[in-house]
Every structure is written in C-alpha cells, then in structure tokens.
Amino acid sequence: MATSQIGLIGLGTMGAALASNIAEKGFPIAVWNRTTQVTRDFHAASGDLADRITPTETLKAFVDAIAEPRAIILMVPAGKPVDDQITALRPLLGANDLIIDAGNANFHDTNRRSAEAGDLPFMGIGVSGGEEGARHGPAIMGGGKRAHWDRVAPVLEAISAKHNGEPCAAWMGEEGAGHFVKAVHNGIEYADMQMIAEVYQIMRDGMGQNSETIASVFDWWNDGVLQSYLIEISGKVAAAKDAETGKPLLDVIVDAAGQKGTGRWTVIEAQQLAAPIPCIEAAVVARNLSSRRDERAVGQDLFGAAPTTMGDTAPSEAELEHALICGKILCYAQGFTMIAAASREFGWDLDLPTIARTWRQGCIIRSRMLDDMATALAESDDRNLMFAPFFTNLIKNSHDALRQVVAKATLHGIAVPALASGLAYFDAMRTARGSADMIQGQRDFFGLHGFERFDGRTGQHGPWAAT
Ligand SMILES: NC(=O)c1ccc[n+]([C@@H]2O[C@H](COP(=O)([O-])OP(=O)(O)OC[C@H]3O[C@@H](n4cnc5c(N)ncnc54)[C@H](OP(=O)(O)O)[C@@H]3O)[C@@H](O)[C@H]2O)c1
C-alpha cells in the first residue's frame, strides 16, 4: 500500500541520515538502495523511527510504496549514477511524479536533466552540512520549477536547520540554480578553510605555538566576530590527540588535502562568467599544491627550508584575527558577486539575501557574519558586500592587519595564497586608477586592438599604428 509521503534512493552516509531526519520529522518514507542488505541494515538500525520507514527491495516495490503524486529524493554519487537512476525510475513513474537530485551535481548536469525531463517534474537541490547536517538539519538550496519546490517545501523546510525558527531551506531559482549556489557555497568553504589553515601555519611555524595554544586561540576567536562552525571545529581539530601515539592529531595527519570537485567547478565557472573570485581560486590551487608532497620535498632539499620563525616580528593574535576577518569578508564578497553574475547570465533572478539567510545554519560555512551579510544584502543586493557600511567599517578596521600578516608571512617564507589573494583583491578594488592602461597599450602595439582614451574617444591607436 502507498503509505509513504516521500521516497529516498541511496542509503549511503548522506541518504541514510536524510531519511532518518525525514522520518523523525513525522513524514513516512520509503527507501531503496542498490545493495539490498544496506536497506535491511538501515531499517533494522532505525529504532523508534522504523515504523515510519518502509524498506523496499525492488524499484517497483519502492515506487508502489509512495503516495501519488510521488516525490523521490536521489542521494547517490553525482554523474552517471544519477542519470542511470533516473533512467531506471522514469518508466515506473507517473507524469506528475517528482525526482529530486539531492547529491552534489554539477549545475550544468542539472540544467541538462531539467531540459531532458521536459514536462516531467525534476529538481536539483544542494544539501550542505555533511552527515550531521543531513541527520539533524542541513541547509537546503532548491533549484527547479517553483511549483515543484512548493510541493516538497513542507518536508524540506521541516528537516532543514533553523535560524531563530526560520528554515534554512529555500528555492533559489530555475534549473540548476540550487546546485550552482551549493557549488559557490563549497568554493567559499574551500577559501574559508584555507585562510584558517594559513593562519594556523603562521601560529605553528612562524610563532612556534603548540597545538594546545593554537586550539585555545581558535576557541577565543569563536566568541567574537569570527564565530563560525569552521573556526569552532578548527579549535577542536587542533586540540585533538592521536589515540595511538598521544601526539597532537595534527602532527600525524598528512598535509595533503583532498577534494571532490565542487571548488574546482566554482573556479571554472567563475572564469566563464568573468567573475573575480581570487580567494577561492587560491584555495583550490593550494589544495592541488598540497597533494604534490614529493615535489615539495625536492624543493625543500634544493632551496632549503624557508626561515619561517618570526621571533619578535611575529604578528599578534589580535592581528591574525583581524586578518582573518578581513580575508573572510573579501572572500564572501567575491562569492556573492559571482552569484550575482550568474543570476544575470542565466536569467535566474537569484535572491542574494535569501541565499545568505539559507547559509546561516546547517551548512559548513554557517557563521555569525552571515547574519550581518543577509542584512547588508537585504539593504542593497546589487553592490559588492565590501561597500555595505557595516562591512566597509569592518574592513577599515582590519585591512592593515591583513597587510601586516601577509607581509610578515611572505618575508618568512610561509605561503598564504588565500590571504594574499584577498589583499590583492582589496588593493585592486580600492584603486581607482589601475595598471590596465599598460595592458591596453601593449595590446594595441602588438595587435592594433585599439584603446579608449580618458576623454571618452574609443578605437584609438598609439603612434605605432601609423608606421
Ligand atoms: N558526504 C557529505 O558530506 C556530502 C555532503 C553534501 C552532499 N554530498 C553528496 O551526496 C551524494 C551522496 O554522498 P554520500 O557521501 O552519501 O555517498 P556514499 O556514502 O558513498 O553513498 C552513496 C550511495 O549511493 C549508492 N550508489 C552508488 N553508486 C550507485 C549507482 N551507480 N546507482 C545507484 N546507487 C548508487 C550507494 O549504494 P550501495 O550501498 O549499493 O553502494 C550508496 O547508497 C553525493 O552526490 C555527494 O557528493 C555528500
């Protein structure tokens, strides 16, 4: 009998957590997994929630268990598995049944799948917050037709994280808009993490601080402007000890960071949109460089280790805090201007304040500052966040610290690419006359591309054009 209000396919880390969350919020749910034993184990381990969960062993039984018009969430790896699953499901579904891809799809794939679906309901939603978020309240970024979002909004809002009682789940826009916003979220996440890691290295190598001290500094910062999930967990990571050796955990973790591609997609898309996101680009580059451990070892043998110890010239912890505050604002300013650029390019009419509000809880980049960003974007969403008075003031109070920290780290051979990119972005954005006059002169010299003069005349050439 079709007793389930919704269905979910893919009981891996995220799917199992999401299904339990849905059941816990009172919605009967049918589940199906490619490997049947996983479904059985999941149901057996569901405790009090088992009554609301219908485990199924065939796709047909799964579909039959869901009340019409059906809504089915896919939580399988992005790419071919999603296409395969849609192909397997469609013949079993009615014309009003809605498929929701809740994995980390590339938004171009979601655009394509939306087009392929035609009139058949399909949505792509971004879900952030990892397993813990999926289980107890993720941030949800919806993409697709508004009417389809409205059909499932009661479930998605109920399971989402809440900020002062407001659900962190919202419809972003048509087609792949939800997955696009999720990708930029992940790009910002990369940059936020990278800047924290850079400051950690300054404390570790430049200032000779041990992990306990570093943990306490992060804990202290988490009570201030920087309050955020990422600062909080950085303190916990720094404080953790390795159970086997008793050493600080950070001293046994290999310094090579992995990635699943969403940061890279953000950077590629930013280039297509001509949207400057240098902090995010630097963070993606830094992850790629981090995995070149052998080459880095060769480099150290060849050139010698950098003289990282800063001694008396070390920045204060307050200076580091302000550098992070400034870098963080600049990074988010870049992310939001990229979203605005995509909104114009794709005709999505994305609502920036809603996006900031959706990110305030549940997701990895949740932070106190996002609340202020939501307020600033609500005042005016077509200006760079740097120019919102609240953030202008914060930047005025912190950009000198960012400069000091970048300069000191650079002088001591500590690579701080994300912070330095933030500083370069800031300097470029506060310089009315830049250096591109030289670029235009060069382009005209070798290619007669022409330039615009300050007196407004366009298509002008230098003296070389006459020869
Ligand atoms: N982990 C996170 O923190 C996180 C956060 C946000 C979004 N996401 C996204 O959520 C999605 C799921 O991630 P996850 O971490 O839950 O993955 P996971 O733990 O590896 O689980 C993958 C699930 O998909 C199923 N699956 C794999 N290949 C399949 C195929 N070809 N056809 C049908 N089912 C298939 C697996 O079934 P079997 O049991 O048969 O292998 C399993 O149930 C991904 O798109 C991921 O990027 C993950």
Is residue 140 lining ligand 1, measured as CB closer than 6 Å? no
The pLDDT score that the predictor gives to residue 41 is 98
E strand map for 18-128: 29-32, 53-55, 71-74, 98-101, 122-128
Query: Quick one: pLDDT band at residue 56, thresholds 50, 70, 90?
Result: very high
* 111 contacts 175 by C-beta, under 8 angstroms: yes
C-beta of 13 in contact with ligand 1 (< 6 A):
yes
Gap between the Cα atoms of 190 and 102, Å rounded: 21
**Quick one: pLDDT at residue 382?**
86
Host H or E run for residue 436: helix 436-447
The rounded Å distance from CA 62 to ligand 1 centre is 18
* Among protein residues, the one whose CA lies closest to atom 29 of ligand 1: 81
54 pLDDT higher than 80: yes
As a whole-number percent, the residues of the chain with pLDDT over 70 amount to 100
Task: For residue 80, give the ligand 1 atom closest to its CA.
Answer: 31
- Residue carrying the six token digits 């969430």: 73
- What pLDDT shows up at residue 260? 81
pLDDT at 421: 98
In terms of DSSP H, where are the helices of 118-261?
A: 130-136, 146-159, 177-201, 211-221, 229-239
Instruction: From the candidates 145, 174, 175, 189, give the one annotated as an active-site residue.
Output: 189
Q: Is 11 in the pocket of ligand 1 (CB under 6 A)?
A: yes
pLDDT greater than 90 at residue 364: yes
- Can you give the pLDDT at residue 102? 98
Residue 335: strand pairing partners: none
Q: Is the pLDDT of residue 467 over 80?
A: no
Q: How far apart are CA 466 and CA 398, in angstroms?
A: 50
183-429 to CATH, choices 3.40.1500.10, 3.90.850.10, 1.20.1530.20, 1.10.1040.10: 1.10.1040.10
Contact between 335 and 188 (Cβ < 8 Å): yes
What is the DSSP code (8-state) at residue 143? E
Distance from C-alpha of 75 to C-alpha of 71, rounded to nearest angstrom: 13
The residues, any chain, with a CB within 8 Å of residue 295's CB and separated by 6 or more, are none
Catalytic annotation present for 189: yes
Q: What is the mean pLDDT of residues 126-149?
A: 97
Whether residue 103 has its Cβ less than 6 Å from ligand 1: yes
* Percent of the chain that is helix, strand, coil (3-state, to 5): 60, 10, 30
74 close to ligand 1 (CB < 6 Angstrom)? no
Query: What residue owns the CA closest to ligand 1's atom 10?
Result: 103
Distance CA 124, CA 86 (A): 12
pLDDT tops 90 at residue 322? yes
Which of 57, 76, 87 gets mutated to test ligand 1 (max ligand atoms within 8 A of its CB)?
76
Catalytic residue among 182, 198, 269, 328: 182
Q: Which atom of ligand 1 is nearest to the CA of 130?
A: 3
CA dihedral 333, 136, 261, 266 (to 10 degrees): -20
Residue nearest to ligand 1 atom 18, measured at CA:
12
Q: Where are the domains of the chain?
A: 6-175, 183-429, 436-466
Give residue 403 CA to ligand 1 midpoint distance, Å.
Answer: 42
Cβ contacts of residue 30 below 8 Å, gap of 6+?
4, 6, 7, 8, 53, 54, 55, 56, 62, 65, 66
User: What does the pLDDT average to over 251-277?
Assistant: 94
Residue 309 has pLDDT above 80, yes or no: yes
14 C-beta closer than 6 A to ligand 1: yes
Inter-residue long-range contacts of 49-54, CB under 8 Å, 24+ positions, other chains counted: 49/20, 49/23, 49/24, 52/23, 52/26, 52/27, 52/28, 53/19, 53/23, 53/28, 53/29, 54/3, 54/4, 54/28, 54/29, 54/30
Q: What is the mean pLDDT of residues 267-291?
A: 97
**Measured from the CB, is residue 364 less than 6 Å from ligand 1?**
no
Q: Which amino acid is located at 147 in the chain?
A: A
Average pLDDT over residues 1-23: 95
CA dihedral angle for residue 139, residue 144, residue 149, residue 151, rounded to 10 degrees: -140
Burial of 99 by CB count in 10 Å (0-12 exposed, 13-18 middle, 19+ buried)? buried
Q: How far apart are CA 378 and CA 249, in angstroms?
A: 42
Does residue 271 carry a pLDDT above 80?
yes
Question: Is the distance from the beta carbon of residue 110 to the nearest atom of ligand 1 less than 6 Å?
Answer: no
CATH 2.40.30.10 describes domain 436-466? no
Question: Pocket of ligand 1, candidates 11, 13, 57, 62: which has the most ligand atoms within 8 Å of its Cβ, to mutate?
Answer: 13
The answer to whether the pTM exceeds 0.85 is: yes
pLDDT, average across residues 367-379: 96
Q: How confident is the model at residue 45, as a pLDDT?
A: 97
Q: What percent of the chain has pLDDT over 90?
A: 97
Nearest to 146 by CA among 169, 120, 118, 175: 175
- Average of per-residue pLDDT across 352-362: 97
Task: Note the pLDDT of residue 466.
Answer: 87
Question: Thinking of the domain 6-175, which architecture would CATH place it in?
Answer: 3-Layer(aba) Sandwich (3.40)
Distance 423 CA to ligand 1 centre (A): 38
Identify which of 44, 69, 59, 51 has the alpha carbon closest to the alpha carbon of residue 8.
59
Strand partners, 53: 29
Average pLDDT along the chain: 97
pLDDT of the residue at 20: 98
Indicate whether residue 85 lines ligand 1 (CB < 6 A): yes
- Confidence band (pLDDT; 50, 70, 90) for 261? confident
329 lines ligand 1 (CB under 6 A): no
Task: Report the 10 Å Cβ neighbour count for 409.
Answer: 26
Residue type at 22 in one-letter notation: I
Distance CA(42)–CA(315), nearest Å, equals: 51
